[in-house]
Amino acid sequence: MEKNLNHIKSLIENQIARVKKLEEGSQFTDYSKLDKIVIGAIDGDGIGPIIMDSTLKVLNVLLKDDLNTGKIVINRIEGLTIENRIEKMETVPKDVLHEIKSCNILLKGPTTTPGKNDNLPNIESANVTLRRELDLFANVRPVQVPDKNIDWIFFRENTEGEYALGSQGIDIGEGISMDFKVTTDVGTRRIAKAAFEYAKNNGNLKVSIITKANIMKKTDGRFLEVCKEVSSDYPEVPVDDWYVDICAANLINENINKDFKVFLLPNLYGDIITDEAAQMQGGVGTAGSANIGGNYAMFEAIHGSAPRMVQDNIAEYASPESLLKASEMLLRHIGYINKADELSSACEKASTTMKMTGNKNGNTAAEYAACVIENLSI
């Protein structure tokens, strides 16, 4: 019992220290003032190297002039693999993290997180660690389904909730386990401000706050309360709030779903709801994700590493659509709007001609990339 109490005390002390650091704040990078923008490209696991190869082939063509002048440098970062992480027993090996921090912005493939039945060491999610180490507090995911008049954007808090302490739960005696969840004013306020700023700057779009505050009265209750406080600074922006289960149901309710615009969610609910939304768009393989902080930003595919595709020798048929969508978001973030528009248009055209099934009856990642390149207006 004493060991568990000391563990809980340590968790609380660490969170208090984290909050104090957050309160110091950080300035966002102005990419227009950089002489050189270094993009760190991280393959990840499973199908990661396949879709990264295809994505970089496209970017090498799209950004040819800037790559030739050295304005943009793409640094392929190795070592963030499940094998290397297990060998070193580090969620993100120190040498890999050092190289990551030497970049201005990151493009990341999927990484494997060991599960309960994988017979692998209990290593934390690399994404969770990177979000914490780089303080990537805002996970931003757009979803569009034009034929249903759906145009959503999700602002998911990225550094708190269940995931922040997900690998630090405890077993109490026999037959009892406890995990922990954390919500802070400063962490909630900054993701809420990001969501309301986006809503204001894009025509006063409605913001929907998603919680389970009727049950999780302290953590979700605090999240809802702080978000409502922030909303008072944006009187022109409509706001409502939903319980996460009702929100999940109404995403597929065609009488309601088109009225959603901007979603503001804690970490776990954001993960689940955005995957549901991506499935409505065409599957998680079609969606990209942005992880935004002050000094760093990371853009990634939202799907997993698909180890079964590797085991079945069909990894080459994985779709690079999600990582290309992430690349489009990355380009917009660094101010390359025209290049992002070119990439978006070329991907739309490729998606109408390519058949990405994830099996041998469809096109390969390399074929999809070649089709995108053919449709670039350069």
> Over the stretch 110-148, which tens digit does the pLDDT of each residue have?
999 887 777 778 788 898 899 889 989 999 988 989 889
Structure tokens at 189: 């306020």
Contacting residues for 219 by C-beta, under 8 A, at least 6 apart: 161, 181, 182, 183, 266
CB 333 within 8 A of CB 136: no
Q: Where are the domains of the chain?
A: 28-136+293-378, 138-283
At the topology level, CATH places domain 28-136+293-378 in Isopropylmalate Dehydrogenase (3.40.718)
266 pLDDT exceeds 80? yes
Q: What is the amino acid identity at position 296?
A: Y
Q: Tell me if domain 28-136+293-378 and domain 138-283 are identical in fold.
A: yes
Q: Average pLDDT in the 283-305 region?
A: 84
d(CA 217, CA 233): 24
Measure the CA–CA gap between 19 and 5, rounded to whole angstroms.
Answer: 21
Q: What is the pTM of this model?
A: 0.76
Confidence of residue 285 (pLDDT cuts 50, 70, 90): low
- Residues 309, 313, 317: CA angle, nearest 5 degrees: 65
What CATH code is assigned to 138-283?
A: 3.40.718.10
End-to-end CA distance of the chain: 66
What are all long-range contacts of 226-232, with beta carbons under 8 Å and residues at least 24 apart?
A: 226/185, 226/188, 226/189, 226/192, 227/188, 227/192, 227/264, 229/189, 230/189, 230/192, 230/193, 230/196, 231/192, 231/196, 231/207
CB 280 within 8 A of CB 251: yes
Residues 102-106, mean pLDDT to the nearest whole number: 96
